[in-house]
Amino acid sequence: MLKRLLSLLAFLLAGVPIASHATTDCSSGSFAAAVDCGVLTGHWTVAVLPTSTISATASVNSAGSAGAIPQPVTGTIRVARVVDQDCGPGCQRSEDLPEAVDVSLTGIMTVGAYVLAYAPPPAGEENIYVHGYYTGAGDLDFEDFSLVHAGNGQVNSPFDYQEVTDTVSLAPGDYTFTLGIEGLARLDGQGAGNLSTFTSSLYIQAAIEDPNFEILCTPIPEPETYALMLAGLGAIILRRRGKMNRPGFRGGRSV
């Protein structure tokens, strides 16, 4: 009687006769597909848009100063998550896709200057000051460039270079940034041959050190699996009740 009840329960839950499970060939069909689930593969990409460089130039060859404050560049750091191969039919991801990736940002700034003074000191003094700045994802702090040269002499171009870096965790999306330069060339000397001048450039780069990711794919349990589990649970319950209904059964023991 118990076996008949179990067979009926399995039939109702799975929608197929019990005999069909007993003859299933694990080397073919849905069971084989579960073995071949494999892994999900993907990668991250990052791009700086636009890729243009901001530059500034200032020059003065008589008493006074020449400023250089070009229009700042507004750009975008674009981060994307790409799934190259997803889990196949009958399979599911064992975990969620990665939410963010570490992006390495690099800011590069160069300053070139050529300073020439014909008037002897203290008649002429040249002063150059350049400041580069970045606002956006991460933290790129540029040191200020400054140069003071008095009397006859020259400083050849380029005279300074700096590179600053920062690593920031970014989710897929667009991140706006602003890049700018402020500079000043100043000359005190009255000599006609005195000269103070500079040129400067500033740009940023973005890279991902480890762009690839993988996620294990696992088989999606089929309705028959759940039916068999429920049938087993039903068998345990029925067996337990059968024992409890026996004459002389008390407190979990037969007397």
Residues 6+ positions from 100 with CB-CB distance below 8 Å: 169, 170, 171
Q: Kindly calculate the radius of gyration of the chain based on its CA atoms and give it in whole angstroms.
A: 38
What's the DSSP call for residue 136?
S
Q: What is the pLDDT of residue 223?
A: 67
Q: What is the pLDDT of residue 121?
A: 56
Residues 204 and 54 sit within 8 Å (Cβ to Cβ): no
| Residue 246 belongs to some domain of the structure | no
Q: What is the pLDDT of residue 240?
A: 72
| Residue 242 belongs to some domain of the structure | no
Q: State the Cα–Cα distance between residues 111 and 150, nearest whole angstrom.
A: 19
Between 36 and 57, the more confident residue is: 57
| Residue 210 belongs to some domain of the structure | yes
Question: Residue 3: helix, strand or coil by DSSP?
Answer: helix
Q: What is the pLDDT of residue 243?
A: 65
| Residue 144 belongs to some domain of the structure | yes
Q: Identify any residues that bridge with 57 across adjacent strands, giving them in sequence order.
A: 199
* Confidence class for position 10, pLDDT limits 50, 70, 90: very low
How high is the mean pLDDT of the chain? Answer: 79
Sign of CA dihedral 6, 12, 17, 19: negative
| Residue 45 belongs to some domain of the structure | yes
Residues 6+ positions from 198 with CB-CB distance below 8 Å: 57, 58, 59, 68, 111, 112, 113, 128, 130, 147, 183, 185
| Residue 237 belongs to some domain of the structure | no
| Residue 76 belongs to some domain of the structure | yes
Token digits of residue 137: 């994802």
Q: What is the DSSP string of 68-116?
A: E-PPPEEEEEEEEEEEEE---TTEEESSPPP--EEEEEEEEEEEEE--B
The total number of structural domains in the chain stands at 1
> What is the domain extent for residue 135?
39-215
For the stretch 181-213, pLDDT in tens is: 999 988 876 666 677 888 999 999 999 999 999
Q: Which residue has the tokens 């050190």?
A: 209
For the stretch 129-176, pLDDT in tens is: 999 999 999 999 999 988 877 655 666 656 788 999 999 999 999 999
| Residue 205 belongs to some domain of the structure | yes
- Which of 76, 74, 104, 78 lies closest to 180, judged by CA? 74
Residues 6+ positions from 86 with CB-CB distance below 8 Å: 40
